[in-house]
A and B are shown apart, each in its own frame.
Chain A
Amino acid sequence: MDTDIVTGILVSEQGALSLEEMVEACGTEVEWIVELVEVGVLSPEGPDETAWRFGALDLLRARRLARLERDFAASAEAAAVILDLLDEIERLRACLIRAGVEAV
């Protein structure tokens, strides 16, 4: 058993991911990530592919999309719509939380 305390870095402005790192983290292909950027599902910082920097939200979204595509045999477009709707639900839940209403 490892007992050492491991320290990581936050995937954020300082520790953002390159295109290659995104591909590895999602276990996918470059083309798949590029397509998600082109259709606006992912929004990395940076002017072109070589300079793209992806944040934590991008990685969570990409992995979620991959699960939706795989488990529902959904097209990228359909999975993206599901993703947007899930985001909207989360946004509305956050509103309820701020308002002190428990989201059931």
Chain B
Amino acid sequence: MEFKDYYQTLGVARSVAEAEIKRAYRKLARKYHPDVSKERDASERMKEINEAYEVLQDPKKRAAYDRLGTGWQPGQDFHPPPDWDTGFEFRGSPAGEAFGGDFSDFFATLFGGAVGARHGAGVHRRGEDHHAKILIDLEDAFRGATRTVTLRVPELDAKGRLAARERTLNVQIPKGIREGQLIRLAGQGSAGMKGGRAGDLYIEVGFKPHAFYRVDGRDLYVSLPVVPWEAALGATVKAPTPGGTVEVKVPPRSQGGRKLRLRSRGIPGDPPGDLYLVLEVVLPIPETERAKELYQTMARELAFNPRRSLGV
């Protein structure tokens, strides 16, 4: 497994006091917290930061970690020295568990024993619930789909030590699902202890950005380009819907920005969502003499000041 340099993760020297570690953590949390951060890899970074802080803020864990010495490089292949943790007892802190499986093998090897000891003394206990998020294509919400989810789940091995195991599940995505909905899979969380029930798995569903549909709850929005004469005179034009191409009537005297609602063409459900076509007037570029003439004719014969509302 790879060695983790927790001091480097928090950007502090090995010698700093506890208060400085806390300060460094808070600063990084503000930057990378997935709930407030815009950084792309915020969620990954926050996991590393949380793991580093979990170890360094706890004097016992920090002392044990420090005992590994300074000879290690981040990413270097690591095997713990025998009896490296003699004399330390990690207790009271939910090592790794708080991250719901989002800890490194390095962490589990060093500090995972603590959880086993804690749970071993317990009695009949329900397994923990787990949480995951998946991104699906908008089309999946129209047809339903099956998606494979890979999870890292914390488990206790035969010796009662904590280890992360990869688990793959094929999850049925029901037709009509919306962004922000949760699929609850009963019994797919952690196993129970001493005859306790298994926990559940909650999967939050998000949509991948679509090339042209924008999603708002069950409703969809799409910009529909039209040429000036289609908008001015009215026309029947083709428009995309997730269910296939349809023909729609653009009413005469339409302006750009006008919304045409196609009832029940949004995400299926009860009630189904609507699809809004937002007209976008596109001007043909006058490439030929003939095209220029047509624009010139309009300029001559249509007395129209589009800036009248600006008083100019």
Q: Which residues of A contact B (CB under 8 A)?
A: 1-12, 15, 24-25, 27, 56-57, 59-60, 63-64, 67-68, 70-73, 82, 86, 94, 97-98, 100
Min distance, Cβ B274 to any Cβ of chain A, angstroms? 12
Known: A97-B216, A97-B221, A100-B221. A10 touches B177 (CB 8 A): yes
Known: A6-B188, A9-B183. A70 touches B98 (CB 8 A): yes
Known: A72-B29, A100-B214. A5 touches B146 (CB 8 A): yes
Min distance, Cβ A28 to any Cβ of chain B, angstroms? 11
- Contact of B202 with A25 in the complex, beta carbons under 8 Å: yes
Contacting residue for B214 out of A1, A63, A97, CB 8 A: A97
Min distance, Cβ A58 to any Cβ of chain B, angstroms? 10
Known: A11-B202, A97-B214. A6 touches B169 (CB 8 A): yes
Min distance, Cβ B266 to any Cβ of chain A, angstroms? 13
- Contact of A6 with B185 in the complex, beta carbons under 8 Å: yes
For residue B15, CB closer than 8 A to chain A, the reply is no
- Contact of B200 with A98 in the complex, beta carbons under 8 Å: no
Known: A11-B181, A100-B221. A25 touches B203 (CB 8 A): no
Residues on B with beta carbons closer than 8 Å to the beta carbon of A94: 216
Report the Cα distance A103→B157, complex, angstroms. Answer: 46
Residues on A with beta carbons closer than 8 Å to the beta carbon of B50: 71
Q: Which of B35, B223, B278 has the most CB of A within 10 A?
A: B35
Contacting residue for A4 out of B33, B170, B223, CB 8 A: B170
Known: A10-B174, A63-B131. A98 touches B126 (CB 8 A): no
Q: A67's closest neighbor in chain B, by CB?
A: B35
For residue B152, CB closer than 8 A to chain A, the reply is no
Supply 5 A–B pairs (Cβ within 8 Å), ascending by A.
A8-B184, A15-B184, A24-B199, A63-B131, A100-B223
- Contact of B184 with A2 in the complex, beta carbons under 8 Å: no
Q: A4's closest neighbor in chain B, by CB?
A: B170
Residues on B with beta carbons closer than 8 Å to the beta carbon of A2: 167-170
Which 4 pairs between the two chains have the least Cβ-Cβ distance? Answer: A11-B182, A8-B183, A56-B182, A8-B185
